[in-house]
Amino acid sequence: MDNNGYYYYEDKSNVPYNRNRRPPKNNGAFFAMVIVGALLISVLSAVISSVIAEQKLNRDTPSNVIIYRSDDEHPLSNEITGQPLSVSQIVNVAKHSVVEIKTETTVYGGFYDNYVASGAGSGVIISENGYIVTNLHVIDQADNISVTLADGNTCAASVRGTDEKTDIAVIQLESSCEGLVPAVLGDSSTLVVGESVVAIGNPLGSLGGTVTNGIISAIERQITVDSLDMVLLQTNAAVNPGNSGGGLFNSYGELIGIINAKSTDVSIEGIGFAIPIGVAGAVAAEIIEKGYVSDRVDYDAVSFYEIENIAPFSRYKYVGLYVTEDNELFRANDYIVSADGKSVQTKKDWRKTLINHNAGEVIRVVVLRGNAEVTIDYTLPEKTP
Protein backbone atom coordinates (compact mmCIF):
# COMPACT_ATOMS: atom_id res chain seq x y z
CA MET A 1 0.00 0.00 0.00
CA ASP A 2 1.44 3.41 -0.96
CA ASN A 3 1.12 6.78 0.78
CA ASN A 4 -2.17 7.39 -0.99
CA GLY A 5 -3.71 4.34 0.65
CA TYR A 6 -3.72 2.46 -2.66
CA TYR A 7 -3.02 -1.22 -2.92
CA TYR A 8 -0.74 -2.79 -5.46
CA TYR A 9 -0.35 -6.42 -6.39
CA GLU A 10 2.20 -9.19 -6.62
CA ASP A 11 1.52 -11.54 -9.54
CA LYS A 12 2.03 -15.08 -8.26
CA SER A 13 2.00 -16.50 -11.76
CA ASN A 14 5.24 -14.73 -12.67
CA VAL A 15 7.63 -17.61 -11.93
CA PRO A 16 11.23 -17.02 -13.14
CA TYR A 17 12.44 -19.37 -15.87
CA ASN A 18 14.95 -21.91 -14.58
CA ARG A 19 17.42 -22.97 -17.27
CA ASN A 20 18.56 -25.91 -15.15
CA ARG A 21 15.10 -27.33 -14.65
CA ARG A 22 14.60 -30.68 -16.34
CA PRO A 23 11.73 -31.01 -18.80
CA PRO A 24 8.83 -33.06 -17.39
CA LYS A 25 8.50 -36.66 -18.38
CA ASN A 26 5.94 -37.44 -21.06
CA ASN A 27 3.28 -39.54 -19.34
CA GLY A 28 1.02 -39.61 -22.40
CA ALA A 29 -2.70 -40.14 -21.98
CA PHE A 30 -2.56 -40.25 -18.20
CA PHE A 31 -0.99 -36.79 -18.02
CA ALA A 32 -3.60 -35.43 -20.44
CA MET A 33 -6.42 -36.92 -18.35
CA VAL A 34 -4.99 -35.28 -15.21
CA ILE A 35 -4.93 -31.87 -16.94
CA VAL A 36 -8.48 -32.25 -18.28
CA GLY A 37 -9.70 -33.36 -14.87
CA ALA A 38 -8.02 -30.42 -13.15
CA LEU A 39 -9.53 -27.98 -15.64
CA LEU A 40 -13.01 -29.44 -15.17
CA ILE A 41 -12.71 -29.22 -11.39
CA SER A 42 -11.49 -25.60 -11.66
CA VAL A 43 -14.35 -24.58 -13.93
CA LEU A 44 -16.94 -26.39 -11.79
CA SER A 45 -15.55 -24.77 -8.64
CA ALA A 46 -15.77 -21.31 -10.23
CA VAL A 47 -19.36 -21.90 -11.33
CA ILE A 48 -20.40 -23.19 -7.91
CA SER A 49 -18.72 -20.22 -6.19
CA SER A 50 -20.54 -17.77 -8.47
CA VAL A 51 -23.91 -19.43 -7.85
CA ILE A 52 -23.35 -19.42 -4.09
CA ALA A 53 -22.36 -15.74 -4.20
CA GLU A 54 -25.50 -14.83 -6.17
CA GLN A 55 -27.73 -16.80 -3.77
CA LYS A 56 -26.00 -15.23 -0.79
CA LEU A 57 -26.58 -11.74 -2.19
CA ASN A 58 -30.33 -12.38 -2.49
CA ARG A 59 -30.63 -14.16 0.86
CA ASP A 60 -28.69 -11.71 3.03
CA THR A 61 -30.21 -8.45 1.81
CA PRO A 62 -32.70 -7.10 4.38
CA SER A 63 -36.25 -6.60 3.08
CA ASN A 64 -36.11 -2.83 3.63
CA VAL A 65 -32.92 -2.48 1.58
CA ILE A 66 -33.36 -2.59 -2.19
CA ILE A 67 -30.32 -3.65 -4.21
CA TYR A 68 -31.23 -3.44 -7.88
CA ARG A 69 -30.49 -6.26 -10.28
CA SER A 70 -30.65 -6.18 -14.08
CA ASP A 71 -34.26 -7.45 -14.20
CA ASP A 72 -35.59 -5.04 -11.53
CA GLU A 73 -37.49 -1.82 -12.08
CA HIS A 74 -35.02 1.00 -11.51
CA PRO A 75 -35.07 4.83 -11.58
CA LEU A 76 -33.09 4.59 -14.83
CA SER A 77 -34.86 1.56 -16.29
CA ASN A 78 -35.74 3.50 -19.42
CA GLU A 79 -32.02 3.95 -20.09
CA ILE A 80 -30.95 0.41 -19.12
CA THR A 81 -32.71 -1.34 -21.97
CA GLY A 82 -30.99 -4.72 -21.99
CA GLN A 83 -29.20 -3.72 -25.19
CA PRO A 84 -25.49 -2.79 -25.50
CA LEU A 85 -24.92 0.93 -24.90
CA SER A 86 -22.33 3.34 -26.21
CA VAL A 87 -19.67 4.58 -23.76
CA SER A 88 -21.47 7.91 -23.36
CA GLN A 89 -24.75 6.11 -22.66
CA ILE A 90 -23.06 3.85 -20.08
CA VAL A 91 -21.61 6.91 -18.37
CA ASN A 92 -24.98 8.67 -18.39
CA VAL A 93 -26.43 5.70 -16.49
CA ALA A 94 -23.52 4.82 -14.19
CA LYS A 95 -22.10 8.22 -13.22
CA HIS A 96 -24.98 8.94 -10.83
CA SER A 97 -24.03 6.04 -8.55
CA VAL A 98 -20.25 6.66 -8.31
CA VAL A 99 -19.10 8.93 -5.48
CA GLU A 100 -15.91 10.57 -4.24
CA ILE A 101 -14.78 9.60 -0.73
CA LYS A 102 -12.52 11.74 1.42
CA THR A 103 -11.21 10.65 4.82
CA GLU A 104 -9.45 12.13 7.82
CA THR A 105 -7.40 9.89 10.09
CA THR A 106 -5.59 10.91 13.26
CA VAL A 107 -2.03 9.60 13.28
CA TYR A 108 -0.58 9.30 16.77
CA GLY A 109 3.15 9.91 17.15
CA GLY A 110 5.35 10.87 20.08
CA PHE A 111 4.89 13.93 22.28
CA TYR A 112 2.95 16.61 20.35
CA ASP A 113 3.52 14.76 17.10
CA ASN A 114 -0.07 13.77 16.41
CA TYR A 115 -1.44 14.92 13.08
CA VAL A 116 -4.41 14.39 10.78
CA ALA A 117 -3.79 12.53 7.53
CA SER A 118 -6.22 12.92 4.65
CA GLY A 119 -7.07 10.27 2.07
CA ALA A 120 -9.29 9.88 -0.95
CA GLY A 121 -10.93 7.17 -2.97
CA SER A 122 -14.17 6.20 -4.66
CA GLY A 123 -17.34 4.29 -3.90
CA VAL A 124 -20.56 3.08 -5.52
CA ILE A 125 -24.09 3.59 -4.18
CA ILE A 126 -25.87 0.24 -4.08
CA SER A 127 -29.07 1.14 -2.24
CA GLU A 128 -31.45 4.09 -1.92
CA ASN A 129 -30.97 3.68 1.85
CA GLY A 130 -27.58 5.30 1.39
CA TYR A 131 -25.38 2.23 1.49
CA ILE A 132 -22.13 2.58 -0.46
CA VAL A 133 -19.66 -0.18 -1.26
CA THR A 134 -15.97 0.70 -1.40
CA ASN A 135 -12.60 -0.80 -0.50
CA LEU A 136 -11.63 -1.35 3.12
CA HIS A 137 -8.26 0.24 2.48
CA VAL A 138 -9.98 3.46 1.38
CA ILE A 139 -11.70 4.07 4.74
CA ASP A 140 -9.59 1.92 7.10
CA GLN A 141 -9.19 3.58 10.54
CA ALA A 142 -10.71 6.85 9.29
CA ASP A 143 -12.11 9.16 11.96
CA ASN A 144 -14.22 11.19 9.53
CA ILE A 145 -15.65 10.21 6.15
CA SER A 146 -17.25 12.62 3.70
CA VAL A 147 -18.88 11.64 0.41
CA THR A 148 -19.39 13.87 -2.61
CA LEU A 149 -22.22 12.80 -4.91
CA ALA A 150 -22.26 13.15 -8.67
CA ASP A 151 -24.41 16.30 -8.34
CA GLY A 152 -21.78 17.94 -6.13
CA ASN A 153 -23.58 17.59 -2.81
CA THR A 154 -21.45 16.43 0.12
CA CYS A 155 -22.68 14.24 2.98
CA ALA A 156 -21.11 12.67 6.03
CA ALA A 157 -20.94 8.87 6.23
CA SER A 158 -20.31 6.21 8.85
CA VAL A 159 -18.92 2.70 8.56
CA ARG A 160 -21.50 -0.08 8.58
CA GLY A 161 -18.94 -2.90 8.43
CA THR A 162 -15.78 -4.14 6.78
CA ASP A 163 -14.23 -7.36 5.50
CA GLU A 164 -10.46 -7.55 5.36
CA LYS A 165 -10.42 -10.83 3.43
CA THR A 166 -12.12 -9.29 0.36
CA ASP A 167 -11.00 -5.68 0.93
CA ILE A 168 -14.66 -4.63 0.95
CA ALA A 169 -16.30 -2.03 3.20
CA VAL A 170 -19.83 -0.67 3.38
CA ILE A 171 -20.45 2.88 4.53
CA GLN A 172 -23.83 4.57 4.99
CA LEU A 173 -24.71 8.18 4.27
CA GLU A 174 -26.50 10.28 6.87
CA SER A 175 -30.28 10.18 6.53
CA SER A 176 -30.53 13.79 5.33
CA CYS A 177 -28.61 12.95 2.15
CA GLU A 178 -31.12 12.87 -0.73
CA GLY A 179 -31.22 12.26 -4.46
CA LEU A 180 -29.38 8.94 -4.36
CA VAL A 181 -29.28 6.82 -7.51
CA PRO A 182 -28.03 3.28 -6.83
CA ALA A 183 -26.16 1.20 -9.39
CA VAL A 184 -27.74 -1.79 -11.08
CA LEU A 185 -25.75 -4.91 -10.20
CA GLY A 186 -24.85 -7.15 -13.11
CA ASP A 187 -23.71 -10.78 -13.18
CA SER A 188 -19.90 -11.01 -13.08
CA SER A 189 -20.04 -14.79 -13.57
CA THR A 190 -21.13 -14.36 -17.21
CA LEU A 191 -18.25 -12.07 -18.23
CA VAL A 192 -15.96 -13.13 -21.06
CA VAL A 193 -12.47 -12.01 -21.98
CA GLY A 194 -12.63 -9.19 -24.52
CA GLU A 195 -15.94 -7.81 -23.25
CA SER A 196 -16.10 -4.00 -23.17
CA VAL A 197 -16.06 -2.25 -19.77
CA VAL A 198 -16.05 1.30 -18.40
CA ALA A 199 -14.34 2.39 -15.16
CA ILE A 200 -15.56 5.45 -13.25
CA GLY A 201 -13.81 6.82 -10.17
CA ASN A 202 -11.80 9.56 -8.49
CA PRO A 203 -8.18 9.12 -9.67
CA LEU A 204 -5.49 10.96 -7.69
CA GLY A 205 -8.20 11.90 -5.19
CA SER A 206 -9.05 15.08 -7.08
CA LEU A 207 -10.49 14.07 -10.45
CA GLY A 208 -13.90 12.77 -9.46
CA GLY A 209 -16.12 11.34 -12.17
CA THR A 210 -13.20 10.40 -14.42
CA VAL A 211 -14.16 7.84 -17.08
CA THR A 212 -11.87 5.33 -18.77
CA ASN A 213 -12.80 2.38 -20.94
CA GLY A 214 -11.27 -0.89 -22.08
CA ILE A 215 -11.96 -4.60 -22.03
CA ILE A 216 -11.94 -7.52 -19.64
CA SER A 217 -8.40 -8.90 -19.95
CA ALA A 218 -8.89 -11.91 -17.65
CA ILE A 219 -11.79 -13.10 -15.50
CA GLU A 220 -10.10 -15.19 -12.78
CA ARG A 221 -6.66 -13.68 -12.25
CA GLN A 222 -5.08 -15.07 -9.08
CA ILE A 223 -2.88 -12.45 -7.44
CA THR A 224 -1.67 -11.45 -4.00
CA VAL A 225 -2.67 -8.01 -2.72
CA ASP A 226 -0.95 -6.99 0.52
CA SER A 227 -0.46 -10.67 1.49
CA LEU A 228 -4.08 -11.49 0.63
CA ASP A 229 -4.73 -14.14 -2.03
CA MET A 230 -7.48 -12.88 -4.32
CA VAL A 231 -9.20 -13.90 -7.55
CA LEU A 232 -9.93 -10.70 -9.49
CA LEU A 233 -11.10 -9.37 -12.81
CA GLN A 234 -8.29 -7.92 -14.90
CA THR A 235 -8.91 -4.94 -17.16
CA ASN A 236 -6.88 -2.64 -19.37
CA ALA A 237 -9.09 0.35 -18.49
CA ALA A 238 -6.78 2.94 -16.92
CA VAL A 239 -6.99 3.00 -13.11
CA ASN A 240 -4.89 5.06 -10.71
CA PRO A 241 -4.64 5.84 -6.99
CA GLY A 242 -8.02 7.24 -6.01
CA ASN A 243 -9.90 4.87 -8.33
CA SER A 244 -9.98 2.36 -5.46
CA GLY A 245 -13.58 1.56 -4.57
CA GLY A 246 -14.90 2.89 -7.87
CA GLY A 247 -17.07 1.00 -10.30
CA LEU A 248 -16.35 -1.19 -13.30
CA PHE A 249 -19.42 -1.32 -15.55
CA ASN A 250 -20.34 -3.56 -18.47
CA SER A 251 -21.75 -2.45 -21.81
CA TYR A 252 -25.30 -2.56 -20.39
CA GLY A 253 -24.50 0.01 -17.69
CA GLU A 254 -24.47 -2.63 -14.94
CA LEU A 255 -21.93 -2.73 -12.11
CA ILE A 256 -19.78 -5.84 -12.50
CA GLY A 257 -16.71 -5.02 -10.38
CA ILE A 258 -15.19 -2.80 -7.66
CA ILE A 259 -11.75 -1.44 -8.62
CA ASN A 260 -9.07 -2.23 -6.04
CA ALA A 261 -5.56 -2.60 -7.48
CA LYS A 262 -3.16 -2.01 -10.34
CA SER A 263 0.33 -3.09 -11.40
CA THR A 264 3.28 -1.70 -9.44
CA ASP A 265 5.78 -1.42 -12.27
CA VAL A 266 5.82 2.11 -13.68
CA SER A 267 6.82 0.71 -17.07
CA ILE A 268 3.59 -1.33 -17.28
CA GLU A 269 0.28 0.17 -18.35
CA GLY A 270 -3.14 -1.33 -18.93
CA ILE A 271 -3.14 -3.77 -16.01
CA GLY A 272 -5.82 -3.01 -13.44
CA PHE A 273 -7.91 -5.24 -11.20
CA ALA A 274 -11.43 -5.29 -9.79
CA ILE A 275 -13.30 -7.42 -7.26
CA PRO A 276 -16.12 -9.26 -9.10
CA ILE A 277 -19.52 -7.94 -8.07
CA GLY A 278 -20.64 -11.52 -7.39
CA VAL A 279 -18.17 -11.45 -4.48
CA ALA A 280 -18.38 -7.77 -3.54
CA GLY A 281 -22.19 -7.74 -3.65
CA ALA A 282 -22.55 -10.84 -1.49
CA VAL A 283 -20.12 -9.47 1.09
CA ALA A 284 -21.84 -6.07 1.07
CA ALA A 285 -25.26 -7.69 1.55
CA GLU A 286 -24.06 -9.64 4.58
CA ILE A 287 -22.43 -6.53 6.07
CA ILE A 288 -25.69 -4.60 5.59
CA GLU A 289 -27.59 -7.47 7.22
CA LYS A 290 -25.32 -8.17 10.21
CA GLY A 291 -22.53 -5.59 10.29
CA TYR A 292 -19.89 -8.25 9.69
CA VAL A 293 -19.09 -11.27 7.50
CA SER A 294 -19.39 -14.82 8.82
CA ASP A 295 -16.46 -17.25 8.95
CA ARG A 296 -13.78 -14.55 9.25
CA VAL A 297 -10.89 -15.23 11.62
CA ASP A 298 -10.40 -13.27 14.84
CA TYR A 299 -6.69 -12.42 14.77
CA ASP A 300 -6.79 -11.02 18.30
CA ALA A 301 -8.24 -14.08 20.06
CA VAL A 302 -4.77 -14.92 21.40
CA SER A 303 -3.41 -12.25 23.74
CA PHE A 304 0.18 -11.40 22.89
CA TYR A 305 2.47 -8.52 22.21
CA GLU A 306 5.40 -8.09 19.91
CA ILE A 307 8.88 -8.31 21.41
CA GLU A 308 11.56 -6.33 19.61
CA ASN A 309 15.28 -6.86 20.08
CA ILE A 310 15.77 -3.29 21.28
CA ALA A 311 18.51 -3.86 23.84
CA PRO A 312 21.02 -6.66 24.39
CA PHE A 313 20.07 -6.76 28.06
CA SER A 314 16.33 -7.24 27.45
CA ARG A 315 14.70 -9.58 29.96
CA TYR A 316 13.10 -11.46 27.05
CA LYS A 317 15.15 -14.30 25.61
CA TYR A 318 13.57 -14.22 22.16
CA VAL A 319 12.25 -11.78 19.60
CA GLY A 320 8.69 -12.41 18.42
CA LEU A 321 5.15 -12.80 19.74
CA TYR A 322 4.96 -13.22 23.50
CA VAL A 323 1.69 -14.70 24.83
CA THR A 324 0.44 -12.77 27.85
CA GLU A 325 -2.65 -14.72 28.99
CA ASP A 326 -3.61 -18.37 29.42
CA ASN A 327 -6.44 -19.86 27.38
CA GLU A 328 -7.47 -23.42 26.48
CA LEU A 329 -4.41 -23.99 24.26
CA PHE A 330 -1.85 -21.27 24.87
CA ARG A 331 -0.03 -20.43 28.08
CA ALA A 332 1.27 -17.12 29.34
CA ASN A 333 4.99 -16.78 28.49
CA ASP A 334 4.70 -18.93 25.33
CA TYR A 335 6.64 -17.59 22.36
CA ILE A 336 4.90 -18.17 19.03
CA VAL A 337 7.47 -19.59 16.61
CA SER A 338 5.44 -20.50 13.53
CA ALA A 339 1.87 -20.88 12.27
CA ASP A 340 0.67 -23.02 9.38
CA GLY A 341 4.30 -23.85 8.61
CA LYS A 342 5.34 -20.19 8.29
CA SER A 343 7.71 -18.33 10.59
CA VAL A 344 5.96 -15.80 12.84
CA GLN A 345 7.82 -12.97 14.56
CA THR A 346 5.47 -10.00 14.23
CA LYS A 347 1.75 -9.29 14.44
CA LYS A 348 1.84 -8.67 10.70
CA ASP A 349 3.28 -12.18 10.18
CA TRP A 350 0.42 -13.61 12.26
CA ARG A 351 -2.23 -11.73 10.27
CA LYS A 352 -0.65 -12.63 6.92
CA THR A 353 -0.70 -16.30 7.87
CA LEU A 354 -4.30 -16.36 9.10
CA ILE A 355 -5.97 -14.02 6.60
CA ASN A 356 -6.31 -16.63 3.85
CA HIS A 357 -8.08 -19.08 6.18
CA ASN A 358 -11.68 -19.20 7.40
CA ALA A 359 -12.93 -19.52 10.96
CA GLY A 360 -13.28 -23.16 11.97
CA GLU A 361 -10.23 -24.32 10.04
CA VAL A 362 -7.43 -25.95 12.01
CA ILE A 363 -3.82 -24.87 11.64
CA ARG A 364 -0.69 -25.96 13.48
CA VAL A 365 1.01 -23.40 15.68
CA VAL A 366 4.44 -24.06 17.16
CA VAL A 367 5.30 -22.30 20.42
CA LEU A 368 8.37 -22.28 22.60
CA ARG A 369 7.24 -23.21 26.10
CA GLY A 370 10.15 -23.07 28.49
CA ASN A 371 12.96 -24.75 26.58
CA ALA A 372 10.74 -27.08 24.55
CA GLU A 373 8.81 -26.61 21.33
CA VAL A 374 5.13 -27.51 21.59
CA THR A 375 2.81 -28.03 18.59
CA ILE A 376 -0.76 -26.82 19.01
CA ASP A 377 -3.67 -27.70 16.72
CA TYR A 378 -5.42 -24.33 16.73
CA THR A 379 -9.05 -24.08 15.57
CA LEU A 380 -9.37 -20.57 14.19
CA PRO A 381 -12.07 -18.58 16.06
CA GLU A 382 -14.70 -16.46 14.30
CA LYS A 383 -14.55 -12.68 14.53
CA THR A 384 -17.82 -10.98 15.48
CA PRO A 385 -18.61 -7.38 16.49
Active-site annotation, residues:
137, 167, 244
Q: Are 183 and 126 in contact (CB under 8 A)?
A: yes
How far, in Å, CA of 76 to CA of 93, rounded? 7
Q: Which residue(s) pair with 10 in the sheet?
A: 224
Output b/e per residue, 55-89; b: 16+ Cβ within 10 A. ebbeebbeeebbbbbbeeebebeeebeeeebeeeb
How far, in Å, CA of 174 to CA of 147, rounded? 10
| Inter-CA distances, 382 with 78, 107, 124, 361, Å | 44, 29, 28, 10
How far, in Å, CA of 319 to CA of 375, rounded? 19
Judging by beta carbons within 10 Å of its beta carbon (0-12, 13-18, 19+), is residue 18 exposed, middle or buried? exposed
Three-class secondary structure of residue 5 per DSSP: coil
Q: Which strand (E) or helix (H) includes residue 29?
A: helix 28-60
CB atoms under 10 Å from CB of 155, counted, come to: 18
| Inter-CA distances, 60 with 52, 63, 70, 97, 123, Å | 12, 9, 18, 22, 21
| 149 phi/psi in degrees, rounded to 5 | -80, 170
- Sequence-distant (≥ 6) Cβ neighbours of residue 315 within 8 angstroms: none
